[in-house]
Structure 1
Amino acid sequence: MSSELLYLKEDTYFEPLINHWYAWPYLLPPVTASRYIVNTHRRIMQSFVKNYKLHIIASKETVLTGGEFLNCTEDQLQDIQSLITELDENCGDLIELSDAVRLLDELLFNHTSGETIEYLYDNIPDPLKGCVELFLDMEHRPSYRLIEPLLYRSSYYKPSLQSLSFGLLSKVEERPFVLSTPRLPDDKHMQVAAEFNAPIVDEIFRAREIPLSAEKVDQLFKGYEQTGGLSYRDFFTTEKSTFFHEPVEEGVRLRYTGHAGFILETKEVCILVDPIIASRDADNAEAMIGHSELPASIDYILLTHTHMDHANIETLLQLRYKTKKVVVPKNNGGTLADPSLRLMLQQLNFDVLEVDDLDEISIPDGRIVSIPFLGEHGDLNIRSKTAWYIEVYGKKCFFGADSSNPDRNLYQRLGKIFTDLDVLAIGMECVGAPYTWAYGALHTKKVPKNIKNSRRLDGSDCEQALPMVKEFNAKQVCVYAIGLEPCFKYFNGLEHEEDSRQVQESNKFLAACKEIGVPAEIMFCKKTITLK
């Protein structure tokens, strides 16, 4: 008797977890992971245990979404204490590695003579011995670089801390915010004790397109510990999605996929830029592009930078089975704040190509070029960021992500090389958080308040973005949705109001583009952009 065939449900949402917390890029490299696990995760959980009532009150305030408050109940107090105990027991060596970073910083801070530092190798803290190179810059200031590939091959890289969480949009009012609260098993989710590279991962997500027999589904989950109130069978259905991918027969098709994502297709090639493909239910199925509308094969995924809303592990793992190559910007070579995206994704079994400024990749009837990216990283020396220029069939598109424009000379020079754009896409997140919101855990000394307030994760405003339109002689402008899409609130946190500066600057930018005769609009969830 033949088995029924099962598809993964359209409203299934997936969260990759590391040590019970939502996995974002800086939790993959061992040294940065150690700093965040100790200085963010453990610290926030200890704060909850010490003063859970404050966290409960704060978590109910929408304006505080994204802050360092656990969204847990009093009944979960013991669960959080158990996670702290588990962290101390299972991550003792990572705690020591985090402390070693602090001790190494102190060691180098105290070397002020400018003379040779070779004698300091003997004093490097044990967890980092053999994994760092010490050096002096041209002003005789000491620093170090991490030998990242060696650290991934050490005991400090722990795939055993990885697990998978699944939920259904039909079971929750909205997806909970992902960054400030560990994922505890509950009656609305299922957690599976499987690593990100486990064969089950690709098989589950391939089932959106190619159904599995009921016996195969049972076999897939056999042997994996599962917790939570949902069963794996709850995530499968005999009904195929009514949405499907429509092939491109001729020319170029450009579609906005939400947040900062685009998909560019011709008959010969498919390219995704910064994809975050959210799950959808009946309420938002028409408004959003879902996994079932993507092609069966993706030639290139282009990532602009390492922030989790652009290099999104949640989406990347769901696309891995159909992706040929991921293209990423080159990093600084072992600096703490700028770990290698290439190495991260190679650990997750992606075929990765790393590019430098203005490197070119040939594609059928066109090319991809990496474009220098300024700003949005709090003035940190982070090189892992690039905008993308795609030219195909004579159509030219620039995807600027969160690039800002503090030096207009850069775009004056670039505009002479990459001119007459058909589409310029840019974000207008002009009021970013203090840079310590993303990078604070990496510091080993307290950052003064005035520095926090000055150095922010700002993108462009109208004054910075408009010269880009002019220098590139753009025919059409797309502004990213800047947090206006409710379906992405689970990682955006706050929703911008109409009087927020981001919205005001976007509207000002639209008006300025109209004044110079360039059509411009704010994207929203799903849209096909006509290449004129």
Structure 2
Amino acid sequence: MSTEPLYLKPNVRIEGLVNQFVAWTHVYTPVSGAMNLANLLLPIMDSYVQRPDVHLAAVANPKMRGGFFINAEASRVDEVRDLRDRIVRDESAAIAFAAAVKNAEDLLRAQATGYDLSPLYAQLPPELRGYVELVYDLNHQPTLRFLEPLLYRSAVHRREREAIELSLDDGSEPPFILSTPRLARDGHLQLPLPLDHTGIDELFALRSTPQPLEQVAKALEITGAEQEATLRALLTTESTLAPDRHIDSGGRIRYFGHACLLLQSPSTSILVDPFISSNPAAGDRFTYVDLPDRIDYCLITHAHQDHVVLETLLQLRHKIGTVVVPRNGGGQRQDPSIRHYLERVGMTVREVDDLDELPFDGGTIVSAPFFGEHCDLDIRAKSSYWVNIAGRSVFVGADTSGLESHLYTRIREAVGPTDVAFIGMECDGAPLTWLYSALFTQPVPRKMALTRKLSGSNAAQATGILKQLGAREAYVYAMGQEDWLQHVMATSYTPESYQLLQVAEFLDTCRRDGVHAEHLLVRKEMRW
């Protein structure tokens, strides 16, 4: 092999995989991962194997966008069947664990009536013994509390199932991550590496520091000529970093699309909910080449698949100082620990509670409460952030809902007024069962699911947030409209969509109130 130093091409993509499915939070974490595998992914594969034509027809129908269908040609049915059989064989502990959760909840429904729970431990399925505590809430409702750190060290969570897939972004849309396994494809390099493998960092450090092909191949444990050739196609002799990726005075906010913001001063860089396009050829967006050489803090607002995005985090891991995440409630399967998840994929993580402060050179980060957008489930791992940087205060709301406007009065009393507010207005989100159905052990009535949605603020709620914070500048973001994130979001708006009509109403209200407001899409830069 040549000793010529090589850089990474700017349009390289990576996906972290578990059993060839994208390793987002509910697939990777032990309890939700076992239940999604048993109650969602295996049934999807069974359905595809039986009727691949139904899946292909659904994928081709725009009205079925975001449905749980496998996007693979009928000719690949044998590959999906083999994957399904392999998973059933190798993941027997996880599948049995998911069944045991249902049996244990049946036990609690039948016998936990407000009296002593201790006799029920002996009746628990063996797969749960030592991994759960039986508890009541103050209304005497029983539940299982899972010991998540122990389960990461059990047979339920096998590191051998992990892999990465590398490819070039040609502008086409990848298959939907919640339903389609990553099957072998020409030009895609699938490597059986754990997600915390140091070779991943060495690969993405090539954007700024070139290395010979031989060294890169060694770092990724590649030995075969075919894989080496595929790897070489990901590399180039030219550096592509943007010369204006740093600033030397004042402050700057760059909008990278969806909920991703980069806040910069000359000494500090803070990235929020990173989900970054890897297609600089599009020419209309910021991409990885526009990021600074170091990111001091990466703030994560919550655990949904469009806010904890491994395809971005794995690319940036080598340059991130600390990932800041909200602390979960501890033990509820709908509320897995983001810290445990990201630590196991190699990140340095700090957990925060409401109103925890992280000072940095010339400013501070304050975690703030986050209401709504989780279908009224008891989920604590969610946080908005208030950031004071380069003399300006910025509220980063993500999908938090203004359903209780007094909350933002309290936030203002605690941290002070806000100059700029970023507010998500996906105000008619998917129903409860779209994201959480696999975690339930009893059917959820459709009418109930439709009343409990993954919704952020509507116009009135966003206006309330703005007024209570005292902000004079507002930006609507996190709407899922950018084309490069549809394999994660699967959103589909028209000009008549309720969400966009609510955005327009909010912007009109801001104009009448003398507040500068914009609806962000694709790219934006603010300097002061």
Which deviations, in whole Å up to 9, do the C-alpha atoms of 1:471-512 show, x marking residues without a partner? 111121111151221122221213322111111111111111
Aligned length: 528
State the 1:416 CA deviation.
3.1
Q: Which residue of 2 aligns with 1:241?
A: 240
State the 1:413 CA deviation.
2.3
TM-score normalised by the chain length of structure 1: 0.95
Contact 1:56 1:72 in 2 (8 A): yes
Which of residues 448, 451, 467 in structure 1 aligns to 2:448?
451
- For 2:393 and 2:285, locate their aligned partners in 1 and report how far apart those are by CA, in whole Å: 25
- For 1:512 and 1:226, locate their aligned partners in 2 and report how far apart those are by CA, in whole Å: 62
Q: Which residue of 1 aligns with 2:179?
A: 180
- For 1:512 and 1:323, locate their aligned partners in 2 and report how far apart those are by CA, in whole Å: 39
Counterparts of residues 151-300 of structure 1 (less than 5 Å) = 151-170=151-170, 173-223=172-222, 231-241=230-240, 243-282=242-281, 284=282, 286-300=283-297
Which deviations, in whole Å up to 9, do the C-alpha atoms of 1:50-94 show, x marking residues without a partner? 222111111111221210111111101111111111111111111
- For 1:219 and 1:280, locate their aligned partners in 2 and report how far apart those are by CA, in whole Å: 27
- For 1:215 and 1:393, locate their aligned partners in 2 and report how far apart those are by CA, in whole Å: 44
Contact 1:260 1:274 in 2 (8 A): yes
Contact 1:304 1:387 in 2 (8 A): yes
State the 1:183 CA deviation.
0.8
- Could you say what secondary structure the match of 1:251 adopts? coil
Q: Which residue of 2 aligns with 1:314?
A: 311
Of 378-387 and 208-217, the range deviating more from structure 2: 208-217
Contact 2:366 2:385 in 1 (8 A): yes
Cα distance change, pair 2–27 in 1 and its aligned pair in 2 (3 A): closer
Cα distance change, pair 227–370 in 1 and its aligned pair in 2 (3 A): farther
Which deviations, in whole Å up to 9, do the C-alpha atoms of 1:298-347 show, x marking residues without a partner? 11111000001111122111111111111111111111110111111111
Of 415-424 and 195-204, the range deviating more from structure 2: 415-424
Cα distance change, pair 230–110 in 1 and its aligned pair in 2 (3 A): farther
The letter for the 1-side match of 2:261 is: F
Q: Which residue of 2 aligns with 1:148?
A: 148
Which of residues 395, 415, 435 in structure 2 aligns to 1:438?
435
Counterparts of residues 81-96 of structure 1 (less than 5 Å) = 81-96=81-96
Contact 1:16 1:22 in 2 (8 A): yes
Determine whether 1:364 maps to 2:357. no
Q: Which residue of 1 aligns with 2:124?
A: 124
Which deviations, in whole Å up to 9, do the C-alpha atoms of 1:239-284 show, x marking residues without a partner? 21152453221221111111101111112211111111120142x1
- Could you say what secondary structure the match of 1:370 adopts? strand
Contact 2:250 2:527 in 1 (8 A): no
- Could you say what secondary structure the match of 2:111 adopts? coil
Which of residues 326, 330, 333 in structure 2 aligns to 1:333?
330
- For 1:162 and 1:529, locate their aligned partners in 2 and report how far apart those are by CA, in whole Å: 40
- For 2:129 and 2:483, locate their aligned partners in 1 and report how far apart those are by CA, in whole Å: 47
The letter for the 2-side match of 1:9 is: K
Contact 2:326 2:338 in 1 (8 A): yes
- For 2:477 and 2:229, locate their aligned partners in 1 and report how far apart those are by CA, in whole Å: 35
Q: Which residue of 1 aligns with 2:507?
A: 510
State the 1:230 CA deviation.
7.2
- For 1:371 and 1:37, locate their aligned partners in 2 and report how far apart those are by CA, in whole Å: 33
- For 2:323 and 2:99, locate their aligned partners in 1 and report how far apart those are by CA, in whole Å: 33
- Could you say what secondary structure the match of 1:212 adopts? coil
- For 2:133 and 2:84, locate their aligned partners in 1 and report how far apart those are by CA, in whole Å: 33
Q: Say what the alpha-carbon RMSD is for the aligned residues.
A: 1.9
Q: Which residue of 1 aligns with 2:474?
A: 477
Q: Which residue of 1 aligns with 2:5?
A: 5
State the 1:101 CA deviation.
0.8
The answer for unaligned runs of 5 or more in structure 2 is: none
Contact 2:195 2:346 in 1 (8 A): no
State the 1:224 CA deviation.
6.6
The letter for the 2-side match of 1:141 is: Q
- For 2:335 and 2:225, locate their aligned partners in 1 and report how far apart those are by CA, in whole Å: 35
Q: Which residue of 1 aligns with 2:134?
A: 134
- Could you say what secondary structure the match of 2:233 adopts? helix
- For 2:448 and 2:517, locate their aligned partners in 1 and report how far apart those are by CA, in whole Å: 35
Contact 1:430 1:458 in 2 (8 A): yes
Of 287-296 and 325-334, the range deviating more from structure 2: 287-296
The letter for the 2-side match of 1:508 is: E
The letter for the 1-side match of 2:487 is: Y
The letter for the 2-side match of 1:195 is: P
- Could you say what secondary structure the match of 2:496 adopts? coil
- Could you say what secondary structure the match of 1:14 adopts? strand
- For 2:45 and 2:223, locate their aligned partners in 1 and report how far apart those are by CA, in whole Å: 27
State the 1:412 CA deviation.
2.4
Counterparts of residues 344-493 of structure 1 (less than 5 Å) = 344-480=341-477, 482-493=479-490
Cα distance change, pair 230–524 in 1 and its aligned pair in 2 (3 A): farther
TM-score normalised by the chain length of structure 2: 0.96
State the 1:289 CA deviation.
1.4
